[in-house]
Structure 1
Amino acid sequence: MRVGTLLLMFTVLLVVVLVASSIYLNLISKGELVNIGMAVEFNDHSAAAWVALDKGWFKEEGLNVSKLVVFRTGLELATAMAKGDIPVAWVCTSPAILIYSRGTPIKILAMTHLHGYAIVARPEISDVRELSGKVVASSGPGSPTWLLLKMVIDMYNLSDVEIKKMPPFMSLNALLTGQIDAASLPEHYVSLAESKGMRVLIRSQDIWPNMPGSALVVREDFLKGHPDIVLKLIKVTVKSTKYINKNLNESARIVAKRLNVPYDVMLRSMKNLRYTYVIDKDEIQKLINLLVKYGVIN
């Protein structure tokens, strides 16, 4: 899959969505509820979805979320989407690019946030340069946490770092029980680890201020078959994202309840993300280039 072709996926879609939205968004009729199944990640990266569900905004647009599948990692969610099990998802961008590069026809409709990843270590490790020769956990190749770890290894010339593949909840447990030295984690797991006395060594925004986070993604056949529903999903995502930015405290209470996380931890976590629905094709291209550099896509 050519890198230029991948970028075209985002550029063309952005134009189509903007034009379609301006023409049709206000023309969608309010009829009977339409059942829809979708998937989210079990973290605050999917805050736009959690808040919209809590506020009933999907139903306001005539959509009944009859099936909600929750995944622990973006890689797992993207794999399910590649199999055709999931037509709509809020998922990390890099796994979405990964499955697209391998032939899964998907479209990114809107971003949901930027950055929101960090490397967290045992408290006795005070500097990222001390990770040479250490065991660091991360989700699998192509995940944002894996990508962050690879960038940090290169940037700080770290050597002999043993990367252990673990989903975030297992990485957190392994870190707290001393089985590993550090972990590259997504929020809200970063803030959970910090609340337990672990040390944040570096955040994604420290080395990449506009690192793409998660996005609203649909399968292409769903987009072609249900353009009206897709426009409603975009509308809800935009509305929810704006609400989060204006009402962060209330949004944190909603997401904390959904994820069964203490409110203070969730509020701290969500302050470490920048919630946005805007697709920046230059940052997406940078992400694609890094995935190529590290051999995840061709």
Structure 2
Amino acid sequence: MSRQFVRRPAVLAAIALVAVGACAGTTAGVSRALAGGSGPSVPSVRLGYFANITHATALVGVGKGIYAEHLGPGVRLETSTFKAGGEVTSALFSDAIDAAYVGPIPALNGFTKSGGQALRIVSGSTSGGAFLVVRPGITVDGLSGTKIATPQLGNTQDVALRAWLKERGYRADEFGAGDVSILPQDNAMTLNAFRSGQIDGAWVPEPWATRLVEEGGAEVLLDERTLWPDGRFATTNLVVSVKFLNAHPDLVKKLLEGHVAATDFLIANPKEAMAAANNQIEQITGKRIKDSVLSAAWGHLEFTTDPLASTLEAMARDLLGTGLVGEAETAGIYDLRLLNEVLLSLGRPTASDR
């Protein structure tokens, strides 16, 4: 059944801005053809991701040529970088990309908004790496009157913060009003805003949490891993457009072979993987992450092909509880068949969609 994704007016306005930003994301970011042949007849895979270490699988897969190796010489890999999950799902909607690394809440939003027609989660990628950091002296019981930043209205960390505050009796709406003022903004702006005293803290992914601590003098108030069983929750997933999945399952499987190989490389070679990821970040943004920040932030992440599906169910409940949406549909969002074919071929346990 087709489902309508219901948002309040302010959030609808945000979606409109994100849709425009999707076009900017593919042009203002880095768009490159990296592998395979050329010409209109050559099949291609158009992959989107962030220049952020929570997307290290993509950074390393591209930088070390792992995707290119598994896609083969007859397939062209084209990459685009984005700054926010909403931009990624809008790019999938508009057929600007075929696959992407994205957080679970944007994936859930895109799936629900499209009535389940736009995308499927085909693998997990990253767990962990999200923190609430604040000015020294601020406590859990002393958050009233504070201003806390998140990366984007309705993104994974934004929803996590709103749900956590609600559980503790704090009011916070999408307009920045309430006991705690939540101020969604670009992560780079957050660091500057914290330094200048415009905000009191942030719920952000790595490496921004560590940067706020090391470069801004923030303290960790909460490591999100402490809120989840075994400290594991979905931070980044690999999603594919339904159109591309149906038309080119062979290419999706090759992409997943590269994804699994890149994940293996991250786990087996952390120092080399950190260097490769940082090289890609510098190539995309013009700036490197300091070694001390990168090393500390990397230690807060787990790279895995497990989608940690049960955590998405909990996130969907949190999303509904924030009042930002009227519906959050998870049934049918996973298609792990091709991933499990790859895992079985390697003699490994299969992934679960529950």
Question: Letter of the aligned partner of 2:211 in structure 1?
Answer: L
For the Cα contact (< 8 Å) 1:40–1:46, is it kept in 2? yes
The residue aligned with 1:70 is: 81
1:88 lines up with 2:99 in the alignment: yes
1:273 counterpart residue number: 301
Determine the structure 1 residue equivalent to 2:47: 38
Query: Could you tell me which residue of structure 1 aligns to residue 316 of structure 2?
Result: 288
Cα gap change, 1:246 to 1:129, in 2 (>3 Å): farther
Q: Secondary structure at the match of 2:122?
A: strand
Corresponding residue of 2:183: 164
Partner in structure 1 of residue 348 of structure 2: none
Instruction: Call closer, same or farther: CA 1:2–1:83 in 2, change over 3 Å.
Output: closer
Displacement of 1:143 after TM fit?
0.8
Report if the CA contact (8 A) 2:160-2:318 is conserved.
no
- Among 196, 204, 207, the residue aligned to 2:227: 207
Query: Number of residues paired by the alignment?
Result: 270
Residue matched to 2:109: 98
- CA offsets, 1:214-243, max 9 Å, x none? 111110000011111100111111111122
Counterpart amino acid of 2:316?
Answer: I
Is residue 198 from structure 1 mapped to residue 218 from structure 2 by the alignment? Answer: yes
Task: Give SS of 2:301's match.
Answer: coil
Q: What residue in structure 1 maps to residue 264 of structure 2?
A: 242
SS in 2 for 1:114: strand
Alpha-carbon offset, residue 133 of structure 1: 1.2
How high is the TM-score relative to the length of structure 1?
Answer: 0.84
- Conserved? CA contact 2:63–2:277, under 8 Å: no
Q: What secondary structure, in the 3-state scheme, does the structure 1 residue paired with 2:238 have?
A: strand
Unaligned stretches of 5+ in structure 2? Answer: 4-35, 172-178, 282-287, 328-354
Return the alpha-carbon distance in structure 1 between the equivalents of residues 189 and 59 of structure 2. Answer: 23
Contact 1:92 1:215 in 2 (8 A): yes
Which AA in structure 2 matches 1:77? V
1:100 Cα deviation from its structure 2 partner: 0.8
| 2:133 alignment partner in structure 1 | 120
Quote the offset at 1:34 in angstroms: 4.3
SS at match of 2:262: helix
Does residue 255 of structure 1 match 2:277? yes
1:182, 1:195 → 2: CA distance? 14
Equivalences for residues 2-41 of structure 1 within 5 A: 34-41=43-50
Task: Give the distance between the partners of 1:210 and 1:66, measured in 2 at CA.
Answer: 31
Which stretches of structure 1, 4 residues or more, deviate above 6 A after TM superposition? Answer: none
Contact 1:129 1:158 in 2 (8 A): no
Offset from partner CA, 1:228-269 (integer Å, 9 cap, x none): 110011111111112211222221122122222112211211
Q: Distance between the aligned counterparts of 1:130 and 1:80, measured in 2? A: 40
Please list the CA deviations of residues 180-218 of structure 1 after superposition, one character each: whole Å capped at 9, or x if unmatched: 111111111111111112212112112122221111111
Partner of residue 187, structure 1 = 206
Match of 1:151 among 163, 170, 174: 163
CA distance in structure 2 between the partners assigned to 1:201 and 1:2 by the alignment: 41
**How far apart are residue 2 of structure 1 and its match?**
8.8
Q: Is the 8 A contact 2:127 2:303 kept in 1?
A: yes
The secondary structure found in structure 2 opposite 1:142 is coil
1:106-138 alpha-carbon deviations (Å, 9 max, x no partner): 01110111122111222x334233222111111
The aligned amino acid for 1:128 is V
Query: Aligned to 1:274, what secondary structure does the other structure show?
Result: strand
Cα distance in 2 for partners of 1:207, 1:213 equals 14
Return 5+ residue gaps in structure 1 as ranges: 4-30
Code of the aligned partner of 2:168: Y
Aligned equivalents of 1:119, 1:65: Cα separation in 2: 40
1:139 and 2:167 aligned: no
Q: How many angstroms does 1:157 deviate by?
A: 2.7
Larger mean CA deviation between 229-238 and 207-216 belongs to: 207-216
Amino acid aligned to 1:42: A
- d(CA) in 1 for partners of 2:152, 2:65: 34
